[in-house]
A and B are shown apart, each in its own frame.
Chain A
Amino acid sequence: MDKQKWEPKIVAFVCNWCTYTGADLAGTSRMKYPANTKMIRVMCSGSIDPVFILKAFERGADGVLISGCHPNDCHYNAGNFHARRRWDFFHELLDFIGIEKGRLQFSWISASEGKKFADVISKVTKDIKALGPFTDYQKMNSEFTAFFPEETAEDHEVLNKVEEIV
């Protein structure tokens, strides 16, 4: 892919009750934001395992966003508080290992904050664009897949076919 056309690939793990609903609201309100982010819905921000993030990086993500309910607004009362502690450590750890803090971002977005959702996605996309492709990890990925083909590898052909149809 040539550099100018490069678009970051971003994964967002969002909780079902607040952020996902906030994203719905952004949609209903026809707010616009870049299409780079794909969302994975989980029940609570407390249920997102750090390995999910590593997996996302392994699958070529350039950035990850984690989003849940505001403190004290958690559908499950406390899931987001546990998440907050967990991410504090994981974020520091990634930073120490040499992964820019901007690659992994966090937010609290409530069900009524459609505007904030659109803003956050735009900001994260902008930030990740500024950081550029996550070549460090992607290099490891390509080296790895050269030895151990993954399910996704075969799918490249499929995706190319899709490209043709489109």
Chain B
Amino acid sequence: MTVRVLPGSVKIFSGVEYSTDYKYMCSDPGQNLIKEAIHKYRLDAIVVGSCSPHMHERTFRNAAVSAGINPFMVEIANLREHCSWVHDDIESSTHKAIELVRMAIEKVKRDKPLTKINVPVTKRVLVIGGGIAGIQAALDVANAGYEVVLVEKEPSIGGHMSQLSETFPTLDCSQCILTPRMVEVHQHPKIKLLSYSEVVKVEGFIGNFKVTIKKKARHINEDLCSGCGLCITKCPIKKKAYNSFEEDLAFRSAIYIPFPQAIPNIPVIDETVCTYYKTGKCGMCVKVCDRQAIDFDQKDTMLVADIGAIIVATGFKLYSIDKKSADSKYKGYGEYGYGKYRDVIDGLQFERIASASGPTSGEIKRPSDGKEPKKIAFIQCVGSRDDSKGISYCSKICCMYTAKQAMLYKHKVHDGEAYIFYMDIRAGGKMYEEFVRRAIEEDDVKYIRGRVSRIYEKNGKYIVKGEDTIAGMPVEIEADMIVLATAMIPQDNAADLARTIGVPYDKYGFYNESHPKLKPVESTTAGIFLAGACQSPKDIPESVAMASAAACKTIILLSSDTLEREPVVAKVNEDLCAGCFYCKKVCPFGAVEVKDVKDINGIVYKEVAYINQGVCQGCGTCTATCLSKSIELAGFNNEEIFAEIAAL
């Protein structure tokens, strides 16, 4: 593209008073050129042919403001990313550049001055999810002096990290580093912890959210309960419910605390197994509780909170190899038995088995008969990197946790053999590669490169059919126990929650960041931030880093009393509105309200749409849906777009 011909060419278009070129228009001298021209030629609008508006639109608008014209009377023709950098042919790209400038000229001629919208900010933060990311974010925000509401759907905070035995690459005890932080959350005066609760509705917009939270009935009066645990020991129901904290490797009573260090240390009654809810009798817990904290009639309650910013830290779940329902996007692993072999377990189950507080008190025993497995096979990439089963991505942490688990196994079963079937070892991280090498070199873990095709049971052993693709040899291992490094996937209700709170998500259900490089913790919805594995698979340090970053962004937001918003919002021409309210149906933000139009007698003769400018985010879906074209989006109105089309 030949820049030097541009000023002369575009000068010819009607309305153009002055045109020039400069190498770095965004630099100070460049901006000064603009300001001088505005003064000298008394310009009322400017077009900059430069890089993408996403880069320097703000710069040029500020320059315009300082020269005294409205910032929205500036249009950018994207001549760099959309023209010079992508086209080799000089002639055609020069033509394209002229046309792009022309389109911008036609648009700017029809632009109208706009003023920014000011909105107040509520100085309270909602953190959704009480895993390590949520805990970190809540503490950081609270320590900055802002109020935090921390919502956790389980009876206790702690998340997956509380289930882990040791952490890679240091092999330090997971609970030992986590529980102090949990206690800190519990005792922090600025943090209101709502455990066993879920967010059911989010209304409003940045700085002004109204959040409805459902507090599920624990059937325990939290104010009265002292957490003595007597009810739990006396509960007659002992073996009817699987202990989900122990990944179903143990049982729990009908009234239970998920694990000893739980925060809050208050039990929950599981209505599905409790005898009282089945027969109306029992009530043993009531009898033993000397503080009368048991309340069978407790109902779910709804709380509404005014919130300024939201941090979403809802975490992940593990892919289970079970057969999936027909409409599921996942398939399950029939070749690994769809989970019918009891000694084929997943990574979290192994964590519980290896954990000193787990069902085997840390001794490695297989679930079927409690024997110590002498030969153990770990299979990586179960679920992940598998287009056919529905998950194409790399789950990122499995290489490391499998190496750690194999190491833990070898440390506990000295005469045991550990095999790891892998596809690639992805150990990018501080001390990670060294850690994996240590497993191989010091602990004699055998790595076999190749995906396992099938697992089946034969005489109490599990036959693992694999192929060593490096040696080019088929491999069959008779293992006593198999650990599947199943992938991290989004929580079951991730998509529903995303729709509730209004954040976009990808095809898997992970929440989308606003910009993959420069805005990694912001969601695309203003005022909602992301932390931890709800955004993509992450290990603990990454989750914590992201949580602190999100907290920091939130604090920045809350540090000012009002917010300025772009005035790109829709407005209804009430005279012409036919009141069909398709705009109300399509508005993703509920910004459209019904407004009554009354006659002189005060009788409503017409209902029209009204757009709440504070709520409108400016997508313009209503404008295209409106049949009578009574809505216009400021900054992108139809006249402007028609002019652009006409200028083609």
A and B touch in the complex (CB under 8 A): yes
Whether the Cβ atoms of A82 and B621 lie closer than 8 Å is yes
Q: Which segment, of B87-95, B163-171, B193-201, B230-238, faces chain A?
A: B87-95
In the complex with contacts A73-B504, A118-B86, A49-B623 CB distance below 8 A: yes
Of listed B94, B502, B507, B512, residue having the most chain A CB within 10 A: B512
Whether the Cβ atoms of B648 and A77 lie closer than 8 Å is no
Whether the Cβ atoms of A38 and B103 lie closer than 8 Å is yes
Whether the Cβ atoms of A158 and B13 lie closer than 8 Å is yes
Specify which chain A residues have a CB less than 8 angstroms from the CB of B95 in the assembled complex: 35, 166
Whether the Cβ atoms of B81 and A76 lie closer than 8 Å is no
The verdict on A59 contacting chain B, using a C-beta distance below 8 Å, is: yes
- Which of A23, A30, A43 touches B619 (beta carbons < 8 Å)? A43
- Which of A7, A75, A83 touches B504 (beta carbons < 8 Å)? A75
Q: Tell me how far the C-beta of B613 lies from the nearest C-beta in chain A, rounded to whole angstroms.
A: 15
Specify which chain A residues have a CB less than 8 angstroms from the CB of B224 in the assembled complex: none
Whether the Cβ atoms of B648 and A23 lie closer than 8 Å is no
Roughly how many angstroms separate A166 CA and B8 CA in the complex, as a whole number?
9
Whether the Cβ atoms of B648 and A56 lie closer than 8 Å is yes
- B498's closest neighbor in chain A, by CB? A72
Whether the Cβ atoms of B638 and A40 lie closer than 8 Å is no
Whether the Cβ atoms of A69 and B504 lie closer than 8 Å is yes
The verdict on A144 contacting chain B, using a C-beta distance below 8 Å, is: no
Roughly how many angstroms separate A69 CA and B505 CA in the complex, as a whole number?
11
Contact with A along B87-118 (1 / 0, CB 8 A): 11101111110111001000000000000000
Whether the Cβ atoms of B624 and A48 lie closer than 8 Å is yes
Specify which chain A residues have a CB less than 8 angstroms from the CB of B586 in the assembled complex: 46, 78, 82
Roughly how many angstroms separate A35 CA and B90 CA in the complex, as a whole number?
10
The verdict on B454 contacting chain A, using a C-beta distance below 8 Å, is: no
In the complex with contacts A47-B633, A112-B516, A79-B86 CB distance below 8 A: no
Whether the Cβ atoms of B505 and A73 lie closer than 8 Å is yes
In the complex with contacts A7-B92, A17-B524, A151-B646, A76-B588 CB distance below 8 A: yes
- Which of A27, A30, A47, A158 touches B636 (beta carbons < 8 Å)? A47
Whether the Cβ atoms of B99 and A72 lie closer than 8 Å is no
Roughly how many angstroms separate A38 CA and B644 CA in the complex, as a whole number?
10
Whether the Cβ atoms of A43 and B568 lie closer than 8 Å is yes
Q: Tell me how far the C-beta of A17 lies from the nearest C-beta in chain B, rounded to whole angstroms.
A: 7
Of listed B55, B499, B504, residue having the most chain A CB within 10 A: B504
Chain B, interface size: which category? 35 or more
Q: Tell me how far the C-beta of A45 lies from the nearest C-beta in chain B, rounded to whole angstroms.
A: 9
Contact with B along A109-132 (1 / 0, CB 8 A): 001100000100000000000000
Whether the Cβ atoms of A76 and B619 lie closer than 8 Å is yes
Contact with B along A16-27 (1 / 0, CB 8 A): 010011011111
- Across chains A and B, the number of contacting residue pairs, with CB separation under 8 Å, is 171
Specify which chain A residues have a CB less than 8 angstroms from the CB of B91 in the assembled complex: 166
Size of chain A's interface in residues, with CB distance under 8 A? Answer: 62
Q: Tell me how far the C-beta of A31 lies from the nearest C-beta in chain B, rounded to whole angstroms.
A: 6
The verdict on A1 contacting chain B, using a C-beta distance below 8 Å, is: no
Which residues B476-516 have CB closer than 8 A to chain A? Answer: 495, 498-499, 502-507, 512, 515-516
Whether the Cβ atoms of A46 and B621 lie closer than 8 Å is yes
Q: Tell me how far the C-beta of A29 lies from the nearest C-beta in chain B, rounded to whole angstroms.
A: 9
Whether the Cβ atoms of A152 and B85 lie closer than 8 Å is no
In the complex with contacts A46-B624, A49-B624, A23-B81 CB distance below 8 A: yes
Specify which chain A residues have a CB less than 8 angstroms from the CB of B589 in the assembled complex: 76
The verdict on B641 contacting chain A, using a C-beta distance below 8 Å, is: yes
Of listed A52, A155, A158, A166, residue having the most chain B CB within 10 A: A166
Specify which chain B residues have a CB less than 8 angstroms from the CB of A20 in the assembled complex: 52, 54
Whether the Cβ atoms of B86 and A31 lie closer than 8 Å is yes
Which residues B185-207 have CB closer than 8 A to chain A? Answer: none
Whether the Cβ atoms of A162 and B54 lie closer than 8 Å is no
Specify which chain B residues have a CB less than 8 angstroms from the CB of A150 in the assembled complex: 646
Whether the Cβ atoms of A75 and B85 lie closer than 8 Å is no
Q: Tell me how far the C-beta of B312 lies from the nearest C-beta in chain A, rounded to whole angstroms.
A: 14
Contact with B along A31-43 (1 / 0, CB 8 A): 1111110111111
Q: Tell me how far the C-beta of A4 lies from the nearest C-beta in chain B, rounded to whole angstroms.
A: 15
The verdict on A135 contacting chain B, using a C-beta distance below 8 Å, is: no
Of listed A36, A40, A56, A150, residue having the most chain B CB within 10 A: A40
- Which of A44, A48, A59, A165 touches B648 (beta carbons < 8 Å)? A59
Contact with A along B55-92 (1 / 0, CB 8 A): 10000000000000000000000101111011111011
Q: Tell me how far the C-beta of B376 lies from the nearest C-beta in chain A, rounded to whole angstroms.
A: 39
Specify which chain A residues have a CB less than 8 angstroms from the CB of B100 in the assembled complex: 38
- Which of A32, A56, A59, A158 touches B88 (beta carbons < 8 Å)? A32
Whether the Cβ atoms of A46 and B81 lie closer than 8 Å is no
Whether the Cβ atoms of A27 and B86 lie closer than 8 Å is yes
- Which of A70, A75, A161 touches B507 (beta carbons < 8 Å)? A70
Roughly how many angstroms separate A48 CA and B642 CA in the complex, as a whole number?
11
The verdict on A11 contacting chain B, using a C-beta distance below 8 Å, is: yes
Q: List 20 A-B contacts (CB under 8 A).
A: A24-B52, A24-B54, A24-B78, A24-B82, A26-B86, A27-B78, A38-B100, A39-B78, A40-B644, A41-B53, A43-B568, A46-B586, A46-B620, A59-B645, A59-B648, A77-B503, A77-B525, A77-B588, A78-B586, A152-B646
Ranked nearest first, the 9 interchain pairs of A and B with the lowest CB-CB distance are A27-B81, A47-B620, A46-B621, A76-B619, A44-B619, A27-B85, A78-B588, A35-B92, A24-B81
Residues of chain A whose beta carbon lies under 8 Å from any beta carbon of chain B: 7, 9, 11, 17, 20-21, 23-28, 30-36, 38-44, 46-49, 52, 55-56, 59-61, 69-79, 82-83, 86, 111-112, 118, 150-152, 155, 158, 161-162, 165-166
Beyond known contacts A42-B641, A77-B503: 20 more, CB 8 A cutoff: A7-B92, A26-B86, A27-B81, A35-B83, A38-B648, A42-B620, A42-B636, A43-B620, A43-B633, A49-B623, A55-B645, A59-B646, A70-B507, A72-B495, A72-B498, A75-B524, A77-B588, A78-B621, A151-B646, A165-B12
